[in-house]
């Protein structure tokens, strides 16, 4: 139980520092020009999903695109593993998503 409390405290401190930094960046962005209006949100969101997660533009060069997709999806897998470790740290369990 003590480990979970220490982990939660460190996590809260880290999230606090992240929030403080993000707040500073948002203040800097307010000094810039206003953004252009976003039209046709559904189409733009669909295109973003295709390009970002589908890696469609990078696959125009097949060999480079394949290896780039491997690196991208590898980082996505590492992200899910990191989220699992945070859940395990808060819950005090060994593996939340064990197979």
- Which pLDDT score is estimated for 55? 84
CB 79 within 8 A of CB 72: no
Kindly report, residue by residue over 4-51, the tens digit of the pLDDT: 899 999 999 999 999 999 999 999 988 888 777 778 889 989 998 888
Whole-prediction pTM: 0.65
CA distance 43 to 55: 17
Q: Which DSSP string corresponds to 1-33?
A: -HHHHHHHHHHHHHHHHHHHHHHHHHHHHTTSP
């Amino acid at each position: 139980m003590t480990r979970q409390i220490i982990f939660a405290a460190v996590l809260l401190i880290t999230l606090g520092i992240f929030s403080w930094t993000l707040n500073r960046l948002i203040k800097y962005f307010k000094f810039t020009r206003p953004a252009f209006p976003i039209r046709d949100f559904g189409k733009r969101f669909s295109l973003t999903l295709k390009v970002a997660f589908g890696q469609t533009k990078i696959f125009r060069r097949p060999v480079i695109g394949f290896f780039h997709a491997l690196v991208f999806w590898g980082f996505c897998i590492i992200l899910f593993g990191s989220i699992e470790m945070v859940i395990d740290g808060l819950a005090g369990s060994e593996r939340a998503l064990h197979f």
